[in-house]
Structure 1
Amino acid sequence: MKKKLLVCALGTLLIGGMLFANGKPEQQEKITPPEQVVTTIPLSSYATEAWYKAMNDAFTAQTGIKVEVQVTPGTNDEQVAKVNLDLLAGSKVDVIPTLGPRDLNTRLDAGFFAPLKKATTASGVDVRSIWGKYIMYDPNGEFYSIPTKQEIYCLYYNKTMFDKAGIPYPKAPWTWDDFEKTAQMLTNAQQNEYGALMRLETPHIIIKALQEQVPLYKADGTSNFDDPAFTKSLQWFKELGSSKKYQMDVKQLLAEKASWNYWATVDNMAMFIQGNWFTRLLNSPSDYPRDWKYGVVAIPTTGKPESANNFVSMAYASINKNAAHPKEALEYILWLGQNQWRFEKGIPALENMSEEDLANVFKSTADASNGSITVDDLNKALIDNALNVINVDIVGPAAAEYNQIIKEEAERYCIDQQTLQVTVQRIKQRMDEVLKNV
């Protein structure tokens, strides 16, 4: 005990000697608290847009947490693949935004995300009352993502092209036959004007089969792409451009490099189907200048009760299980879930929104359209349209591979490298082979 007391006394004398060596106490250095930071890696198409920067600036102003955005070059699909590889390699980026349940399920299956139930409870946030049915729970009641928005599909149309042709604007409810007749009247291939644009993407390629909810998997777990509904939908997609010529042939679209934003950059295609997020492009004249007004209407159906369906895709924010700043990441994703839609001018994934709130959501979009559309137009096209809402993404085993295989084989069919029958067979065979290894 005496030895311990002696050591303490010597320590005190040494410290006192250092403090008063010059007859004055030394000034202690000011300790600056470390800067609060959260890192995120959004889709390439988001990272450079003005609304995205404004959103992160608002979060920083409100919380004091700086948002560092990591930009991944390439298309959105390439970005998703690169981010997944980085996560597999142990990336410490904090927040991972994901668009669509297909990519979300892939990341959940890979175990990339941190569980949120315990953390949100500790933070005092009542997740169920804020996001309710939009939260994706696993069988154990755990969840790994906060929904940031929902994207509901509609049909956009070029009012200037309709006015020039003297054709009434489309009105819902309407059928795919109505759509074709309208597209035919608006098509003038000699003047490079087309009635429609259906992109070489899975939802467009098999849109009729998806709308009728034909399953992509059989009960035994194999591919169901040999169902006649997929054959008919694929054939219809090709014929729009090849024989009917209501839209550019796929060969031309590939030559034009018609990416996800193509319709907003041209003035010669009258109708286009996409999620409501597309209004953000159309309402951004500095990024997408145009001299024509646009309209919105609910998408067509086959006219049968089983096809009275519209499509929706959700967006989510999750915390990387290896996040360097998990506390800041939690604050960021909870904030995004309640505020991202305000900046993106989208539809929030929030529970129990009042009609007034919903009207305000649409009002910001209508106001930004420079007179193209009204709140009533948006409400009728997206909400009050007598259509059920179903998921637009392929969800299930090897969903990303399924999506890519359909796109690759459909392209070969559309540019006449293989027949329709061979295309359907190859999609099923390739997918069944993938499913064996899942």
Structure 2
Amino acid sequence: MKRKLVVAVGIAAVASLALAACSGDSTPEESTGPVTLTLSGWSLDTTPEFQVLADGFEAATGNKIELKEYDAAEYNTLLTADLSAGAGPDIITQKEVKYVPVLVDSDQLVDVSDVKIPDGVSGASSYEVDGAQYAVPYRQDSWVLFYNKALFDEAGVDYPDGSWTWDDFDAAAKALTTADHFGVYEHRWQSTTQGFANAQWDGDIFSGDYDYMSELYERRIAREDAGYEMDFAESSANSPSYQGEFGKQNAAMLPMGSWFVATLISQQASGEADDFEWGIAPIPQRDSSTIDNPVTFGDPTGFGINAAIDDAKLEAAKEFLAYSMSEDAASALASIGITPSNTSEAVAAAYFAVDGAPSDDLSKFTWSTHDTYPENPTSAQTAEVQTVLGTMHNEILTRAKTVDQAIKDAAAAFGAL
């Protein structure tokens, strides 16, 4: 799943993108358009990627996209209700990978194995179920380390150089902590600890053996106890946003998904975040063996097609899926700070040309070079297992149980599923 810099198909050829049939070399007939398709999304005022793709697709093909907005927090619940009522959109944005098998089992997604996935597009395997492709990725976020260069300078701490292990991270958190700010802020999500353990320790959440997560939990508890980061219980009680903690310089470092780049640029431009120089670095590694190709985690975001779509719209919908992975769609997304699934050289240039984006070589390396493992492996069990692991996460960080006891209890809960 390494992110490679490659050249993909351009916008001028989008209307004739090959949709190689899984049963042979034949190509389905294209729509005779124009066709109007509906597409699900969320927070449309602050999430411009949907309109950017809609506009680009219309310019390329003449077909139109109407956006159907859902509440971001209740997206999957509301979408499922619409699908059950026969009122779902033609194209379904896959907000969370773990729900893909549920939609497949409910016969609500079209098999799109005949949509060609360009070389260098990351995250496609997350949408495979029993050997068939049920969605394609248009973006692929990966977790990186955001750092405040001004606070590093104040503390006399060297910037990350791409070689950090978790020992280096712990040392920096200590050195950067002052009476005014923490060395690091880690958000409340279980993925902030478990995602890195799964990726770097080759963890298997379906094994029932979670001992491999203990090291990162012990490190986090030690940092909290030493006062280098906000205590989980305090964070849970006060619910600070990670955007505010980093943007208002309450913490010098922030492990977070690459989606935060666009948000931080926007918030600094509007004044919602302070004006300071920042960069992104590879997330700390388990050891030096992966420094040249850092290991991290992150799920893609993708598009699938509603199985109830009008037959007359099906080929246009497949054209949209193909367009969403093209170099031109990716460049359009990159120009607003979104990390697309296709990261060609042209796309990278568009991404770092955004006003307010970091321009240093390490930030560019971090964005383009890494192995990204899925946060949510595609399985019908994923949602249940993540619930078990969420309970374990809370028990450990609220100190309700020791790390060892919480892990043991999670294994027992997994066995009872």
Q: TM-score, normalised by structure 1?
A: 0.75
- In 1: Cα distance, 2:218 partner to 2:404 partner: 10
Aligned letter for 2:61? T
Aligned letter for 1:299? I
- In 2: Cα distance, 1:148 partner to 1:178 partner: 34
Counterpart check, 1:322 vs 2:318: no
- In 2: Cα distance, 1:304 partner to 1:395 partner: 29
Shift of 1:272: 1.4
Q: What residue number does 2:206 align with?
A: 217
Instruction: Please point out which of 82, 89, 104 is paired with 1:86.
Output: 82
Residues 75-111 of structure 1: CA deviation (Å, up to 9, x unaligned): 2xx3224323433444431111114543334433443
Assess, with a 3 A threshold, how the Cα gap between structure 1 residues 268 and 140 changes in structure 2: closer, same or farther: closer
Aligned letter for 1:368? V
- In 1: Cα distance, 2:153 partner to 2:281 partner: 16
Assess, with a 3 A threshold, how the Cα gap between structure 1 residues 264 and 84 changes in structure 2: closer, same or farther: farther
Assess, with a 3 A threshold, how the Cα gap between structure 1 residues 388 and 289 changes in structure 2: closer, same or farther: closer
Q: What residue number does 2:386 align with?
A: 403
SS at match of 1:335: helix
| 1:225-374 → structure 2 map (5 Å cutoff) | 225=210, 227=211, 229-241=212-224, 243-259=225-241, 261-263=243-245, 265-284=247-266, 285-286=269-270, 288-303=272-287, 305=289, 309-324=295-310, 325-338=313-326, 339-345=328-334, 346-350=338-342, 357-358=344-345, 360-370=346-356, 373-374=358-359
Shift of 1:217: 2.5
Shift of 1:181: 0.6
Q: Which runs of 5+ in 1 are unaligned?
A: 1-33, 121-126
Aligned letter for 1:164? E
Assess, with a 3 A threshold, how the Cα gap between structure 1 residues 302 and 35 changes in structure 2: closer, same or farther: closer
Q: What residue number does 1:113 align with?
A: 109
Mapped contact 1:131–1:147 kept (Cα < 8 A): no
Mapped contact 1:38–1:95 kept (Cα < 8 A): yes
Q: Which runs of 5+ in 2 are unaligned?
A: 1-32
Percent of aligned positions that are identical: 20
Q: TM-score, normalised by structure 2?
A: 0.78
Shift of 1:320: 0.8
Shift of 1:433: 2.3
Assess, with a 3 A threshold, how the Cα gap between structure 1 residues 383 and 66 changes in structure 2: closer, same or farther: closer
Assess, with a 3 A threshold, how the Cα gap between structure 1 residues 382 and 39 changes in structure 2: closer, same or farther: same
- In 1: Cα distance, 2:364 partner to 2:303 partner: 26
| 1:9-20 → structure 2 map (5 Å cutoff) | none
- In 2: Cα distance, 1:240 partner to 1:110 partner: 44
Shift of 1:401: 2.2
Q: What residue number does 1:184 align with?
A: 174
SS at match of 2:325: helix
SS at match of 2:141: strand
- In 2: Cα distance, 1:331 partner to 1:208 partner: 35
Mapped contact 2:163–2:288 kept (Cα < 8 A): no
Larger Rg: 1
Q: What residue number does 1:426 align with?
A: 409
Assess, with a 3 A threshold, how the Cα gap between structure 1 residues 256 and 65 changes in structure 2: closer, same or farther: farther
- In 2: Cα distance, 1:366 partner to 1:69 partner: 28
Cα root mean square deviation, aligned: 3.2
- In 2: Cα distance, 1:240 partner to 1:213 partner: 24
- In 1: Cα distance, 2:330 partner to 2:76 partner: 22
SS at match of 2:70: coil
SS at match of 2:261: helix
- In 2: Cα distance, 1:433 partner to 1:262 partner: 40
- In 2: Cα distance, 1:88 partner to 1:235 partner: 44
SS at match of 1:195: strand
Mapped contact 1:148–1:341 kept (Cα < 8 A): yes
Mapped contact 1:202–1:407 kept (Cα < 8 A): yes
| 1:127-166 → structure 2 map (5 Å cutoff) | 127-129=116-118, 135-136=124-125, 142-166=132-156
SS at match of 1:206: helix
- In 2: Cα distance, 1:340 partner to 1:50 partner: 13
Assess, with a 3 A threshold, how the Cα gap between structure 1 residues 237 and 376 changes in structure 2: closer, same or farther: same
Q: What residue number does 1:391 align with?
A: 374
Q: What residue number does 2:362 align with?
A: 377
Instruction: Please point out which of 191, 197, 208 is paired with 1:203.
Output: 191
Mapped contact 2:90–2:306 kept (Cα < 8 A): yes
- In 2: Cα distance, 1:422 partner to 1:317 partner: 40
| Richer in helix (by share) | 1
Residues 162-189 of structure 1: CA deviation (Å, up to 9, x unaligned): 122222211121110110110111112x
Assess, with a 3 A threshold, how the Cα gap between structure 1 residues 139 and 180 changes in structure 2: closer, same or farther: closer
Aligned letter for 2:307? K
Assess, with a 3 A threshold, how the Cα gap between structure 1 residues 381 and 333 changes in structure 2: closer, same or farther: same
Q: What residue number does 1:124 align with?
A: none
Compare 161-170 and 52-61 and name the one that shifted more.
52-61
Residues 368-426 of structure 1: CA deviation (Å, up to 9, x unaligned): 243x5226233322345xx5443333444411222233223322432233443442233
- In 2: Cα distance, 1:150 partner to 1:407 partner: 23
Aligned letter for 1:425? K
Assess, with a 3 A threshold, how the Cα gap between structure 1 residues 259 and 401 changes in structure 2: closer, same or farther: farther
Mapped contact 2:185–2:246 kept (Cα < 8 A): no
| 1:16-95 → structure 2 map (5 Å cutoff) | 36-42=35-41, 44-45=42-43, 48-75=46-73, 78-95=74-91
Aligned letter for 1:309? V
Q: What residue number does 1:123 align with?
A: none
Mapped contact 2:352–2:358 kept (Cα < 8 A): yes
- In 2: Cα distance, 1:129 partner to 1:59 partner: 17
Counterpart check, 1:174 vs 2:199: no
| Paired positions, count | 374
Assess, with a 3 A threshold, how the Cα gap between structure 1 residues 141 and 176 changes in structure 2: closer, same or farther: closer
- In 1: Cα distance, 2:156 partner to 2:128 partner: 53
Compare 202-211 and 156-165 and name the one that shifted more.
202-211
